[in-house]
Amino acid sequence: MCLSSFRWFRSVSSSDDPHSYIHGVLERGDHGPYRHIQFDLRTLNDAIQKDAERIARSIEADVKNAVAGNRDEEVTIQNHLGNVTFKCLVSTPHNLSELVQIIGKAKRENQSVKAIGGFYAFSPVCETTGYAIKTDHLVGTSPTPAATLKDPARAEGLYDVLCGTSLQKVVEVLEKDGRALLNLGGFAGQSSIGATATGTHGSGLTVPPLASMILGINLISGQFDTSSGLPVQYRIEPTNGITNPKSHPPSWVLIQDDREFNAAMTGLGAMGVIYSTTITTVPFYWVRELREMVDWPTAKGLLEQGAQGDILKYHNAEVWINPYTSKVLLTRREKLTTPPAGELAGPNSHMFTAITKDLSALHAVVDHIFSDPVIDLEGLLGIILALLLRLFPLLLPAALDLALQTQDHVQPKVAKYYDIYEIGLADNFPAISTEISYPMTSYLSAADATISLLQKLRKQDIHQAVVSPVSLRFTASTPANLSMSYSTNPSQSSGRCYLELPSLFYFYKSVQVYDAISKPHTEESVNMYQGRMHWGQYITPSFTTLQYQPHDPEFYASITSFKEVAEKFDPGHMMANAFLRKVIWLETGN
Ligand SMILES: Cc1cc2nc3c(=O)[nH]c(=O)nc-3n(C[C@H](O)[C@H](O)[C@H](O)COP(=O)(O)OP(=O)(O)OC[C@H]3O[C@@H](n4cnc5c(N)ncnc54)[C@H](O)[C@@H]3O)c2cc1C
């Protein structure tokens, strides 16, 4: 609803609490003037409870649509969120031989190939009109055999991980051996390759993105042996790679070359299907988390202190900003390498899970929509929360403050590393997000510009808003060509800051409403602040990497280098899809 269509109430003050606002919207179907409505969760709960039946009627059709999904034929597949849907041939190999055979078959049939990991990416990176190779059965994590290494003593802490293994499963296996991953993002449901192929990262200025744990890559390429008709298999490592060429199995062509390795680490599947990787791990660790609510000017002052300042000096640092009120939750984390004394905290609970727990009146809304008991109640509450905010969008700013407060804890929290890093958001709260990385020299200006843009858009149209705090995270740089943290000289680089715009998906009537936020944000970020788009998050359809050429020549040159290497491994572009052809290969006509 546009601001211009708001009806001005005679008595503005009477509509300034959630009771009268909710009642007013249900009675008259409008929101009154643009304003901030303050409340606590108890008042909101009472207001929902009072009008539960009418709220239920207003959102019933959308809830039922969301729960039913809109999957049709078997050959039409859809990512988790449901914003990427396409028709294709699906293959689910169970082992290396089946994987190699299906790629050979695709070649004979002149079909393209795209591997699918967890299928979580919001961008159309998995899309294909040919074979979608689901890697769900290519799973397993095992210690790397010492016999193949140049230095067998280096085998400790090295693991071979099959491509479809979820990060969660890798973490579980490692813990049994007293080992851990260097870092995790806010979610561990991705497959090991799906995550690293798009540049997935956690937070901490000294911690590079997850692909930095890879030491060797076993790739089934888009090159074919002319006699067998089967794809050529490569083992790709850095120049000083770990494998002893003399004890290396001949079925895999060994390449030890930094340039090719840097292209393959984060490759969007453009060089072929990665069967497995060898990763390095660290001894198991715990994390001590401290949190503090401040306002954005205070947070900015602390961030301006730089890498040794009171936020960025921590092993992990995150800054969550409510763009509509300027309230900020600071997270500072230290790594503990010895077992902490005392009881450990359990897994983190996401802010929206915490909110829905406190809003028991949402159950009354559910009861008015469904007469039978609901199977996935938590998932349903996530959808209802988003639809409730769509129905009463003036509640959003204060609701986000309350959401941030659920995550604040004055007492330090100590837990296993994965319980701290994973924020617990997944299918229960269908969410979409765009994420952009910036140099450390421009990220604060970019964050200010983002906050201004978000406030402006919401004032123009009350539904052009993000239903979640904006987050800032940080990483060290990496030589991986396509990584959003790429640097020609990682050890000298000051790292990158990632700004994410997550939002509950069902707040929007269509993905185009989110795009109306993401697109101008992308344009401004790339053109003015040297922003780089996260490949596995939502990317506005008009974006191509050509936009980096004038504003970020370092990254553009790196992408060009990537393409030269990818061309060698997939000369016929059979591993490309419409997204890669347009965005990376810059082909026109898609
Ligand atoms: C709830 C949630 C939380 C998230 N949190 C974070 C976060 O904290 N930090 C962050 O950086 N990102 C985050 N993301 C983004 C996420 O990490 C990326 O979208 C990631 O790519 C998803 O992994 P996936 O296994 O689902 O990959 P998919 O979506 O299945 O695939 C992604 C890409 O990898 C390719 N690929 C997959 N397997 C192979 C293979 N075997 N060989 C070659 N190519 C392959 C695919 O072809 C595709 O190009 C989050 C996403 C969600 C849904």
- Has residue 531 been placed in a domain? yes
The verdict on 364 and 414 lying in the same domain is: no
Please state, in angstroms and as integers, the Cα–Cα distance from residue 585 to each residue in 128, 513, 580, 588, following that order. Answer: 16, 28, 6, 9
Q: Which residue has the tokens 């490309």?
A: 576
- Please state the rounded mean pLDDT for residues 477-495: 97
State how beta strands 316-321 and 141-143 pair. Answer: unpaired
- Indicate if 138 and 211 belong to the same structural domain: yes
**In CATH, what number is assigned to the domain containing residue 529?**
3.30.70.2520
Which residues make Cβ contacts (< 8 Å) with residue 582, sequence separation at least 6?
A: 544, 590
Same domain, 339 and 482: yes
44-53, 56-65, 297-306, 542-551: least confidently modelled range? 56-65
Same-domain pairing of 143 and 246: yes
Task: List the end-to-end C-alpha distance of the chain, in Å, as a whole number.
Answer: 34
Rounded to whole angstroms, the Cα distance separating 428 from 350 reads 10
- Claim to verify: residue 263 and residue 327 sit in the same structural domain: no
Region 98-102: what's the mean pLDDT?
97
Domain finish residue from 255, 283, 311: 283
Instruction: Name the packing angle between helices 443-460 and 511-529 (round to 10°).
Output: 150
Cβ 423 vs Cβ 406: under 8 Å:
no
Contact between 60 and 367 (Cβ < 8 Å): no
How far apart are the C-alpha atoms of 121 and 378, rounded to whole Å? 22
pLDDT of residue 284 exceeding 60, the answer is yes
Can you point out the beta strands (E) in 29-75?
A: none
Do 453 and 549 belong together in one domain?
yes
ipTM over 0.95: yes
Look at residue 471 and tell me whether its pLDDT is greater than 90: yes
| 64-86 residue pLDDT tens | 888 775 433 336 788 888 899 99
Whether pLDDT at 495 is above 90: yes
Q: Name the residue of 84, 120, 184, 353 to mutate for ligand 1: max ligand atoms within 8 A of Cβ.
A: 120
Q: Which two tokens stand for residue 279?
A: 């990763």
Q: Kindly state the percentage of the chain with pLDDT values over 90.
A: 84
Measured between alpha carbons, how far is 159 from 143 in angstroms, rounded to an integer?
4
Residue nearest to atom 52 of ligand 1 (CA): 120
206 and 305, same domain (yes or no): no
Cα of 470 from ligand 1 centre, angstroms: 20
Co-location of 425 and 332 in the same domain: yes
Query: Do 396 and 306 belong to one domain?
Result: no
Burial (CB < 10 A; 0-12, 13-18, 19+), residue 368, is middle
Q: Is residue 98 part of a domain?
A: no
The 3 state secondary structure assigned to 311-357 is: CCCCCEEEEEECCCCCEEEEEEEEEECCCCCCCCCCCCCCHHHHHHH
- 213-256 confidence digits (pLDDT tens): 999 999 999 999 999 999 999 999 999 999 999 999 999 999 99
pLDDT at 519 over 90: yes
**Domain total for the chain?**
3
Residue 577 lies in a domain: no
The answer, yes or no, to whether any atom of ligand 1 lies below 6 A from the CB of 124, is no
Q: Which domain holds residue 265?
A: 132-283
pLDDT in tens, 117-165: 999 999 999 999 999 999 999 999 999 999 999 999 999 999 999 999 9
The helix (run of H) or strand (run of E) holding residue 369 is helix 361-369
The length of the chain, given as a count of residues: 590
Instruction: Classify residue 104: in a domain, yes or no.
Output: no
Nearest to residue 194, comparing CAs of 536, 454, 451, 537? 536
CA of 223 to the centre of ligand 1 (A): 25
Between CA 369 and CA 223 the distance in angstroms is 55
332 close to ligand 1 (CB < 6 Angstrom): no
Spacing, Cα 188 to ligand 1 middle (Å) = 10
Strand-pairing partners, residue 133, are 91, 115
Q: Pick the last residue of a domain from 283, 304, 328.
A: 283
Q: Kindly state whether residue 535 falls inside one of the protein's structural domains.
A: yes
| Interatomic CA distance for residues 100 and 252, integer angstroms | 12
How far is the centre of ligand 1, averaged over its atoms, from the C-alpha of 210 (Å)? 11
**Secondary structure of residue 11 in the 3-state scheme:** coil
Which atom, in ligand 1's list, is nearest to the CA of 123? 19
Residue that is written with structure tokens 């930095």 in the block: 212
- My answer on whether 205 and 319 are in the same domain is no
Indicate the burial class of 490 (C-beta count within 10 angstroms; 0-12, 13-18, 19 or more).
middle
CA distance 333 to 315: 6
Contact 254, 246 (CB under 8 A): no
Q: Is 321 in the pocket of ligand 1 (CB under 6 A)?
A: no
Find the mean pLDDT for residues 561-590. Answer: 94
Average pLDDT value for residue range 480-490: 98
In a domain, 142, yes or no: yes
% of the chain with per-residue pLDDT over 70? 95
Question: Are residue 396 and residue 315 in the same domain, yes or no?
Answer: no
Which residue bears the tokens 């890879």?
A: 214
Among 127, 187, 505, the mutation site with the greatest number of ligand 1 atoms within 8 A of its Cβ is 187
Ligand 1 in reach of 426 Cβ (< 6 A): yes
Of the residues 283, 317, 337, the one at which a domain ends: 283
Q: For the domain that residue 185 is a member of, what is the CATH number?
A: 3.30.465.10
Residue 94 lies in a domain: no
Give the nearest ligand 1 atom to 209 CA.
11
- The angle, 0 to 180 degrees and rounded to 10, between the axes of the packed helices 296-304 and 443-460 is 160
**Together in a domain, 465 and 513:** yes
- How many whole angstroms separate alpha carbon 176 and alpha carbon 284? 10
Give the mean pLDDT of 39-47.
93
Distances (CA, A) of 262 to 54, 220, 483, 497: 57, 17, 9, 21
Q: What does the longest C-alpha to C-alpha distance in the chain come to? A: 85
Sheet hosting strand 89-91, strand order edge to edge:
89-91, 131-134, 113-116
Residue 258 in domain: yes
